[in-house]
Amino acid sequence: MKQSTDFFLLEKNGIDILVKKFLEEHKVFGPIKPGHDSTFDEIKSPKELHLDYISTVLPPKKFFHPPTENLFSFELIENTEWTYKETLHDEKTVLIGVHPCDVHAILRLDRFFSEDFRDPYYLSRRENTIIVALNCIEPSEYCFCESMGTGPFLEMGYDLLLTDIGKKYLLETGTYDGKKLLDGLKLEKADKKDLYEKKKLLEQAKKKFKRHVNTDGLSALLDDDTHDWDIWTKLAENGYPGKSFPCLSCGSCSLVCPTCYCYDVYDVIDLSLKKGVRKRELDSCQLLEYAEVALGGNFRRDRRERIRHWLMCKFGMAAGGDKSGCVGCGRCIRICPSKIDITEVARIIRGE
């Protein structure tokens, strides 16, 4: 539920008090830095939290739509009668330190998992999770959220929002649930000067992006079936000289993408043939088996077709709008072993 916004100030070590409060009644997940890269994981003590991070390899999508999960178990009790036990998650959870692009990605996933059908497994996690977002002051070299209208600062989709304004954090409430989480904490109120500082930091952050995409008319260009784009053949067969190698169809780009939701469902049956588990795991349209059907038929056997399909999903439908499949997080660029850069592809398509 959207509420009027309250603005508070938090000392840098005040985050510890906040996390301790969350831990009283919730499981808390946030960015930690166990090695070279940051990753979202469970926080058992405030000391583990590492808010000063650029990006994680896997997005927080993994908490709502995990790489692999058990949906339900089933068992035959009579000749034709089965019982089912669903795996629904009702644990109260706080996800802290989520960047704006990843919040926008979660909002897109919400639509997918609740509009045409309601997915109880995704929604049970989502409805029990409070999002404490963190605005981005320093975009990474791969980010282009500003072009996609999803960052670097957030205007929607959060319960609480943090902005590092130098010596302190500005803390904003976004929903009633977020506000309630602060009950009992004695927090200093922010004033106009602090809000001005936030505005100033936003303007500075916008200037720091190294990657940009001009989304104007991009989806219409891609959806134009009359155009025979030779870019797909190049990406599939040779890569762009001096820029990329051919796509390897490894699927890494879609597996790290915070908005890719495609999945596979299969049953693991017990040897008794009387019980089993229905599982779901992330799938990728870049993989050969993705569009395979009975008798070995395959709707997208060619690599060219697969990379085209993925990029159409990211930029084709409504690039830059709230229906775009891309939120500009830059993960696919960073992870691609063939150095395929989605922003470069957009530029080539536009003839720039």
Positions touching ligand SF4 (CB under 6 A) are 247-253, 256-259, 286, 314, 326-332, 335-338, 340, 342
Q: Which of 31/46 has CB closer to ligand SF4?
A: 31
Q: What six digits make up the tokens of 220?
A: 């219409």
Q: What does the alpha-carbon distance between residue 159 and residue 1 come to, in Å, rounded to a whole number?
A: 9
Nearer Cβ to ligand SF4 (151/258): 258
Length of the chain: 352
- Alpha helix locations (H) across 242-341? 252-256, 303-311, 331-335
Q: Of the two residues 168 and 303, which places its CB atom closer to ligand SF4 in the complex?
A: 303
Helix (H) or strand (E) run with residue 31 in it: strand 27-32
Residue closer to ligand SF4, measured from CB, 32 or 326:
326
Closest CB 293 distance from ligand SF4, rounded Å: 21
Enter the tokens of residue 102: 């990843």
C-beta of 134: minimal distance to ligand SF4 in Å? 17
Among 23, 32, 36, which residue's Cα sits nearest to residue 52?
A: 32
- Strands of the sheet containing 188-189, edge to edge, are 39-42, 27-32, 93-98, 129-134, 160-164, 168-173, 7-11, 188-189
Comparing C-alpha atoms, which of 175, 172, 143, 154 is closest to residue 59? 143
Q: DSSP state, 314?
A: I
Q: How far is the CB of 133 from ligand SF4 (least distance, A)?
A: 16
For residues 163 and 158, give the distance between their C-alpha atoms in angstroms, rounded to a whole number.
13
Q: Which is closer to ligand SF4, CB of 173 or CB of 215?
A: 215
- Beta carbon of residue 317, minimum distance to ligand SF4 (angstroms, whole number): 13
H-only helix segments in 120-169: 120-127, 145-148
The full DSSP string for 156-193 is SS-SEEEEE-SSEEEEEE-BHHHHHHTTT---EEP-HH
At its nearest, how many Å lie between ligand SF4 and the CB of residue 203? 23
Between 123 and 312, name the residue whose CB sits nearer to ligand SF4. Answer: 312
In the complex, least distance from residue 248 CB atom to ligand SF4, rounded to whole angstroms: 4
Q: CA 97, CA 105: separation in Å to the nearest integer?
A: 14
Residue closer to ligand SF4 by CB (options 59, 174) is 59
Nearest-approach distance from CB 13 to ligand SF4, in angstroms? 32
